[in-house]
């Protein structure tokens, strides 16, 4: 049983939803991915949560989690509740707030075989996708499939 994480730019457009949904379903069907991790710090994460929530209705055996970078209410309250069960990684409470998202992302990467990425060419999402490739993870960059709506060109 394989695990997949999502990483992407916090300003992603909802127009990538169908691409994200199709790629994720393909991972379930062809790669037998059964566990998914997604953050909660931007538009891309909300789109991925929505796709996973939808796919859980069709494939109830999959597990999908929102991995928190902050204890709820400590930095900011949820603007909207996560659609998925949440996990707050052990030890994250000891990490300075300014590094919490990066620490959470590394936590997800260590536990994943696949990475679905929608990186901006200049942000941490690009760095994490590159690190995933160097670590031998399979990285699926959906910006290629969604090239006509990629907001950074």
Helix/strand/coil for 86 = strand
Report the pLDDT averaged over residues 83-104. 92
pTM summary value: 0.89
How far, in Å, are 44, 76, 80, 111, 146 from residue 119 at the CA level?
10, 24, 23, 20, 12
% of residues, the chain, pLDDT over 70: 87
% of residues, the chain, pLDDT over 90: 70
Query: Can you tell me the distance from the alpha carbon of 113 to that of 42, in angstroms, rounded to the nearest whole number?
Result: 23
Express each pLDDT in 26-55 by its tens digit.
999 999 999 999 998 889 999 999 999 999
| Domains along the sequence of the chain with CATH | 2-145 (3.40.50.450)
Residue 91 clears pLDDT 70, i.e. is over it: yes
Residue 137 clears pLDDT 50, i.e. is over it: yes
């Amino acid at each position: 049983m394989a695990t997949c994480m999502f990483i992407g730019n916090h300003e992603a457009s909802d127009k990538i939803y169908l691409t994200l949904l199709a790629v994720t379903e393909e991972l379930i069907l062809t790669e037998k991915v059964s566990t998914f991790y997604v953050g909660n710090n931007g538009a891309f994460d909300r789109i991925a949560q929505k796709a996973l929530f939808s796919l859980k209705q069709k494939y109830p055996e999959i597990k999908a989690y929102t991995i928190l970078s902050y204890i709820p209410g400590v930095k900011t309250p949820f603007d909207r509740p996560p659609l998925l069960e949440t996990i707050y990684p052990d030890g994250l409470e000891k990490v300075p707030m300014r590094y919490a998202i990066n620490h959470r992302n590394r936590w997800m990467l260590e536990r994943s075989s696949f990475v679905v990425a929608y990186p901006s060419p200049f942000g941490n999402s690009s760095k994490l996708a590159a690190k995933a490739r160097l670590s031998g993870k399979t990285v699926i960059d959906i910006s290629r499939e969604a090239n006509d709506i990629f907001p950074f060109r």
